[in-house]
Amino acid sequence: MFPHTRLRRLRRRKMIPLLAETHIGKDDLIAPLFFDETAVNPIPIISMPGQYRWPVSMAEEVIIMLNNAGIRAILLFGIPSVKDAEACGAYAPDGVIQQVIRAMKKACPEMAIITDLCACEYTDHGHCGYIGECLDGPGLLNDTSLEMMQLIAVSHADAGADIVAPSCMLDGMVSAIREALDDYGHHEVLIMSYSSKFASSLYGPFREAAGSGFSFGDRTGYQAPVSNRREAYRESELDAAEGADILMVKPAGWFGDIITDIKQIGLPVAAYQVSGEYSMIRAAAEKGWLEERQVAMESLLSLKRAGADLIITYFAEDVCRWLDE
């Protein structure tokens, strides 16, 4: 007790780095990337300053740039040239993501390539699968849409993806995808499930980036309510039982309690710092209201402190540069 115990001794400037309980390293980071099949040059994403829709022709250049920065894993999103009700472009052998995977694997085979496995960017209605009549009117058909996820997963694995990341929050999606991958000989492809994904208001900038706005309704019927902690845990617990290799909490920053909960399941946990979180920090920094580097690093440290093993963040390349300075 005081005066013998003085915690301020631990906070002397030279002691803080030595005694830090939580650290961010380059190997913790996953960089999300958008590739647009119609783009000729990089297209700035207005609501996400510093982020772009990249043309497929630049896939090799982008992956080498990130690898040189110290990034070891990327998460791919595709924007196709044509959308339809059945998301045919999502599982086409020559689809935008399939082209990008093959180019990246050739240029940088050591990079871990993760693919977002969903259909909202590829459907003309913006929902994550097949649409039909449900109890509350037109909506997402769960079991039929599992077949679509299987097609997409196998096509990504055939192209060379190391990890597929189903983000559609369909019941049974992990077991269906695992079965399909194994049936086609992709036993070593991992599944990183968006297992506790909330119906959050923080996805707005992403919908501009990926062109994934919906033509009717919303996604509250298949994403978890932000108010429900136990339900979010059950979602991850079920995905773990179905064979997920990595679990995910999305969004990240306001859901540290969920990250801590999910950590107890025993699988690696990824935290997705989503577009809204990124854009808020960027916008405040541009206004001069916050110091971007300090706030961004603090936000990521909080995710590690909560228990995240991996962090998906649009700040990934910036963090690598800051760690080198």
pLDDT tens figures, 59-95:
999 999 999 999 999 999 999 999 888 888 899 999 9
Terminal alpha carbon distance of the chain? 40
Contact at 8 Å (CB) between 117 and 164?
Answer: yes
Written as one string, the DSSP assignment of 35-104 is EETT-SS-EE-TTSTT-EEEEGGGHHHHHHHHHHHT--EEEEEEE-S--BTT-GGGS-TTSHHHHHHHHH
**Two structure tokens written together for 218:** 């919303």
* pLDDT value of residue 124: 81
Contact at 8 Å (CB) between 123 and 84?
Answer: yes
**Who has greater pLDDT, 218 or 4?**
4
**Two structure tokens written together for 30:** 């996953």
pLDDT (mean) for 246-273: 98
pLDDT > 90 in the chain, percent: 76
Backbone φ and ψ for 229, nearest 5 degrees, come out as -75, -45
The pairing of beta strand 29-36 with beta strand 73-79? parallel
Catalytically active residues are: 197, 250
Separation in Å, CA 220 to CA 124, 168, 223: 19, 12, 5
Helix, coil or strand: residue 115: strand
Contact at 8 Å (CB) between 323 and 26?
Answer: yes
Q: Give the ranges where the chain is alpha helix by DSSP (H).
A: 16-19, 59-69, 96-107, 142-159, 173-183, 204-210, 229-242, 256-263, 275-286, 292-306, 316-324
Q: Give this prediction's pTM.
A: 0.94
Separation in Å, CA 45 to CA 7, 35, 48, 73, 211: 46, 12, 5, 22, 11
* pLDDT value of residue 306: 98
Q: Which domains does the chain have, with CATH numbers?
A: 21-324 (3.20.20.70)
pLDDT (mean) for 116-129: 84
* pLDDT value of residue 209: 74
Of 102-106, 109-113, 198-202, which gets the smallest average pLDDT? 198-202
Cα separation, 38 vs 17, in Å, equals: 47
